[in-house]
Amino acid sequence: MNVQHILDDLFAMTFHAGIKPGLERITELCSGLGDPHLRLNTIHVAGTNGKGSTCSILASILTEAGYNVGLYTSPHVRKFNERIRINGVAISDQDVARLAVPLMEQAKTMGGTFFEVTTAMAFEYFAERRVDVAVIETGLGGRLDATNICQPIVSIITAIDYDHMEYLGTTITQIAGEKAGIIKQGVPAVIGPNSAEACDVFERRAEATSSELIFSEDVVSVDVDAFYADLTMSVSVIRADTRQYYVSELTGQHQAANIGTAIAALGVLERFFAIDDEDIRRGLRSIRRNSGILARTQIVPGEPTTIIDVSHNAAGLHALVRTLMDSRIAGPLHVVFGAMADKDVEAMLTELLPLNATLHLCAPHIARSMPLYDLVAVAKHVGHEHIIEYASVAEAVQGARAAGTTVICGSFHVADEAADALNVIG
């Protein structure tokens, strides 16, 4: 079934409606469906970095424990259907069409948005399929995010950093306040590694909502034991005075932090679900299969070594660079990079300097992309000396791979176009 015309219409709602904070429209959309979000056990996850990985880790562990697990994440890398999955299997085109068309018609009458329609679709699909639990990632912020109408059994907040400041505020305190909006009355909240100022915000919110607050670093300790050439890693995890050793399919010190946050959340989830150590072990080994997560420091088949990553802000690129160094990826490196103009591109490119890589700069085919001439100017300004310009992501990928070990990063859109050019992942 070809649903591209439906998706084109749906994506157009992003530009027609823009971003409209507020829960009124999503509440009305879900009311027309019989409030599917209230018929689900949900795990609600917000944060600046790491929330998609944390969602995928939890979904994988719960799948290995034998449960039917819904997973709603955004944005997608290759195909819209990635956003809505059950046990790693994406929603079908037929179900996309069946659910999207009536919701779009209703949403257009009230000025609804792409994300609101997609969120209502996910809730309804998971309710129809009677999933045992749905892991729900926020889109933007938390307090006024469309996903925040869910009534979770646990709320999770991963690392907070500067991003989307035009909507969430210009200070960590303001941004944390928006993320803290997912902490509900009486619902336990798990907080990943964060700054003291962000944690103060979460403590105040938990006190105001009489919510149990669990800081992951207080209950779980995760140390990386070894990084491997296939970009997996082994970790030791201390929890409840017991040490366990696992191999994780996602790699990097930042992923160790996400594993710690996910395992801390298991302390709450074990009140509702039967989960044992072998479920965790299998889950960490099978994250990509069980969740469908793509382009998180992911090696694509073939030579030369080529890695795709969706890091799209300074903190994400800092984590990527550290992971590449820790994993001793053989150089010299060739970095394919493009970014959205509304990002702090100067900070992002600064984070890439320690690689001493050749930059293969490009602009993905999306209106929000930073134009190539601006990108080149910023790269030179921050101190990059080896720069090659390309008219497209595909040409940049070809040029970089002809030269040697290639790392592709900067945007979900760069990852998508690169994967398309390579005919890999997804």
Tens digit of pLDDT for each residue in 263-313?
Answer: 999 999 999 999 999 999 999 999 999 999 999 999 999 999 999 999 999
Mean pLDDT for all residues in the chain: 95
- State the burial class of residue 141 (Cβ atoms within 10 Å of its Cβ: 0-12, 13-18, 19+): buried
pLDDT of residue 161: 86
Whole-model pTM: value is: 0.94
CATH class of 4-291: alpha beta
Write down the CATH superfamily of domain 298-422: Mur ligase, C-terminal domain (3.90.190.20)
Instruction: Give the strand order in the sheet containing 298-300.
Output: 298-300, 306-308, 406-409, 334-337, 358-361, 387-389
pLDDT of residue 170: 85
Tens digit of pLDDT for each residue in 373-389?
Answer: 999 999 999 999 999 99
Count Cβ neighbours within 10 Å for each residue of 228-267 and write b for 16 or more, e otherwise. eeebbbbbebebeeeeeebebbbbbebbbbbbbbbbbbbb
Whether residue 213 has pLDDT greater than 80: yes
* Common-topology check for domains 4-291 and 298-422: no
Structural domain boundaries in the chain: 4-291, 298-422
Smallest Cα–Cα separation from 80: which of 1, 150, 11?
11
Lowest mean pLDDT among 124-128, 169-173, 315-319: 169-173
Residue that has been written with the tokens 């998609």 in this structure: 52
Q: How confident is the model at residue 16 (pLDDT cuts 50, 70, 90)?
A: low
Whether residue 18 has pLDDT greater than 80: no
pLDDT of residue 357: 97
pLDDT of residue 287: 98
Distance, in Å, from the CA atom of 67 to the CA atom of 189, rounded to the nearest integer, reads 22
Whether residue 21 has pLDDT greater than 90: no
